[in-house]
Amino acid sequence: MTVSGKTVLVTGASRGIGAAIAGALGGAGASVIAHYGSHRQGAVDALADVPEDRVAYVQCDLAEAGAARALWRDAVAVRPRIDVVVVNAAIAPETPFDGPDDVWDAGWEQTMRVNVLEPASLVREAVAHFRANGGGIVISLSSWAGQQGSALPQLTAYAASKAALKALTQTVARNFAQDDVLAYVVAPGIVRTRMSGISAAARGGVDKVLAILPLGEMVPPEEVAAVVVFLASGTCRHLTGATIDVNGAAYVR
């Protein structure tokens, strides 16, 4: 069970879960192509302990139409053979039901572009690459909100986008397994990152969030990263298509 010698592209590698994933993969021996939007230093810090010959950085604003295809071109220009793609980058603008129409429309459009449309294009590029090169792995970061809907009505677009990403990934798993293309979904609960501040504020503070969690704590991003490293190893091929919940029993199916 190892990722040593593999090349992994991680989107959103400069903050939160993505930074933890990039660091864990690099620490486990993988070569990491770290995507970032504007915060390059975060990606650099996440991979500070990884030898320079196993690290590359690619900048891309996924809010722009067609950006994911450019990201893929830049990635394969650095490493012609990519073995794993981790689709992690996401945004969560509020889309309140009782807000103004322009806020609703803009929030949905931004969320779908960054969380669904560009990731779908990236996955499409990756699948073509994998099929032509003997296989590969797609790992998508969904959310427990994508499985059960969001408890916060102002995050409707975010929940919908994470459900769409899950369906996209499972479709890849079902249709390209015979090409040795494996696809997994990781669905975290409330993870201890900057984004968890949205949940905390909406619920009345961190203490209110911790009170609804069976373990009494948010998910450490390092635990999500450990799951991704395991999946990236390709050890359990028959897990392809599965959704791995990482929420401390806060949502049990």
pLDDT tens string 172-208: 999 999 999 999 999 999 998 877 776 677 677 888 8
Q: What is the mean pLDDT of residues 220-243?
A: 97
- Which residue has 């996955």 as its token pair? 123
Backbone angles phi, psi at 244, to 5 degrees: -100, 115
Per the annotation, the verdict on 158 as an active-site residue is: yes
pTM for this entry: 0.95
Q: What is the mean pLDDT of residues 14-42?
A: 97
Instruction: Kindly report which listed range (142-156, 175-189, 195-209, 233-247) carries the lowest average pLDDT score.
Output: 195-209
Residue 88, pLDDT score: 98
The model's confidence at residue 253, banded by pLDDT at 50, 70 and 90, is confident
Catalytic residue (choose from 36, 158, 184, 251): 158
What is the rounded CA–CA span in Å between residue 85 and residue 115? 15
Helix (H, G, I), strand (E, B) or coil at 205: coil
Evaluated on CA atoms 252, 146, 221, 54, the torsion sign reads: positive
